[in-house]
Amino acid sequence: MVGVPGRSKACVTCRRRKKGCDKKVPFCGQCLALGIPCEGYERQQIWLNSEGSTQKSYTKSPSRSPSSSPASSTPGSVVILHESLTRTARAQKFTGLFWSDYLSGGSGYSLKASGITSTKWMKLYEALSDVEASLQYVAMALSTATLGANNNDVQLLGKSQQAYGLAMQQMATSFISPSRNKDGILAAIQLMRVYEQLFGTGISAAQKNSPVSQIKGFRKHIDGETALILSRGPEDSWSSMGKQLLADGRLTLINAYISRRKRSPYNKGWKQSQLWRSVTNSPLNQLIDILVEVPTLLEDLDIFRETLSIELYNSILTRCRACEGTTTSTEERR
């Protein structure tokens, strides 16, 4: 009803901007045309203080000498906690709880093995989240989903899906933006891959968190991450952050091609490039240099089983022996 507060069917963004809304779903066409995030048609309660919708007032106690008594002190000034600060505090709390749980869980790789620590990865995330909004959204989605799953909180799990939807929408906006941050987008895709592995994004209730949904979503993000990396190319001016993201994601990308038994695009041009070798020459990266050949060997092996080509057989055998020799020499140098 027109003129009645709280009855508008416009999206949250248009209501806040006091602009007309075409009410398209899942995202408003006006927001998409302007290239701004559409916050959907439900009020995002995930960011709000659960104790009330009004702004909070806090009393700032004035400094007083030890001899002064509470009765003789003057009333303090009132400090208003703005809603945006409340949202930021809540977001940092959820995100911090997730990272403390995610980075401390399991044994992981040591600094000697991988060449990077959890602290270094956290600093990288913090720097990139300031320039790429989708990274903030997907981190919040992971945070709320993890906390919701650990505490059997259905509301948090639902809010994580909403945050993930906002991350996907912001990602689409970032892709077409001329001022996009390539490293921030790559980091966001990598976290989306983690989200799909853990929770999936099935449409129906039966599909949610199902293995099929998780595998399909994971493969889509693997393909998207690969396409983004290939579009930049090994000769692109990758920043130090981008190089580290590429190094961290290589093992997962190569394992995906091993499971598909299809050639990896990284064993031609990339392996010999300076970019590929610009990261720490750790045992893990040395292992990746060997694993990058495995998808091609598996695909050629499947072809040989159908064709029984002696020439292909000799080629496969030679390359397998080369991988074995590299593995042995790497082990001897340790």
- The domain in which residue 161 lies consists of 93-104+113-232
Q: Give the residue from 232, 257, 284 where a domain finishes.
A: 232
Q: What is the structure's pLDDT at 280?
A: 59
Q: Are 170 and 37 in contact (CB under 8 A)?
A: yes
pTM greater than 0.85: no
The answer to whether residue 263 is domain-embedded is no
Q: Are residues 221 and 131 in the same domain?
A: yes
| Angle value at C-alpha 56, between 51 and 61, nearest 5 degrees | 125
Q: What is the structure's pLDDT at 93?
A: 65
Q: Are residues 118 and 212 in the same domain?
A: yes
Question: Which residues share a beta bridge with 245?
Answer: none
Residue 61, H or E segment: none
The answer to whether residue 60 is domain-embedded is no
Q: Are residues 119 and 222 in the same domain?
A: yes
Q: What is the structure's pLDDT at 76?
A: 44
Q: Are residues 138 and 203 in the same domain?
A: yes
The answer to whether residue 75 is domain-embedded is no
What residues contact 9, with CB distance under 8 A and at least 6 apart? 21, 23, 41
The answer to whether residue 198 is domain-embedded is yes
- pLDDT tens-digit profile, the chain (334 residues): 445 555 677 888 888 888 888 888 777 888 878 878 888 777 555 444 445 445 555 454 555 444 444 444 444 444 444 444 445 666 666 666 666 655 555 445 454 444 444 556 667 777 888 888 888 888 888 888 888 888 888 888 888 888 899 998 888 888 888 777 888 999 899 888 888 888 876 544 445 556 666 777 778 888 888 888 888 888 777 888 888 888 878 888 898 899 999 988 887 777 777 777 766 577 777 888 888 899 999 999 999 999 999 999 999 999 999 998 988 887 766 6
The answer to whether residue 56 is domain-embedded is no
Q: Are residues 205 and 99 in the same domain?
A: yes
Q: What is the structure's pLDDT at 136?
A: 85
The answer to whether residue 136 is domain-embedded is yes
The answer to whether residue 32 is domain-embedded is yes
Q: Are residues 131 and 222 in the same domain?
A: yes
Torsion angle, alpha carbons of 134, 136, 141, 143, to 10: 160
Question: Which residues share a beta bridge with 81?
Answer: 56
Q: What is the structure's pLDDT at 129?
A: 80
Torsion angle, alpha carbons of 134, 137, 140, 146, to 10: -80
Q: Are residues 221 and 97 in the same domain?
A: yes
The answer to whether residue 73 is domain-embedded is no
Q: What is the structure's pLDDT at 20?
A: 85
Distance between CA 297 and CA 313 in Å, rounded? 10
Task: State the burial class of residue 221 (Cβ atoms within 10 Å of its Cβ: 0-12, 13-18, 19+).
Answer: buried
What 3 state SS string does 233-302 have?
Answer: CCCCCCCHHHHHHHHHHHHHHHHHHHHHCCCCHHHCCCCCCCCCCCCCCCHHHHHHHHHCCHHHHHHHHH
Q: Are residues 119 and 207 in the same domain?
A: yes
Q: Provide the domain count of the chain.
A: 2
Q: Give the residue from 209, 232, 255 where a domain finishes.
A: 232
Which residue intervals of the chain are DSSP H helices?
12-17, 29-34, 83-104, 111-114, 118-129, 133-151, 154-176, 182-198, 211-232, 240-260, 283-291, 294-307, 310-333
Q: Are residues 171 and 228 in the same domain?
A: yes
Q: Are residues 99 and 194 in the same domain?
A: yes
**Residue 79: what are its φ and ψ, rounded to 5°?**
-115, 120
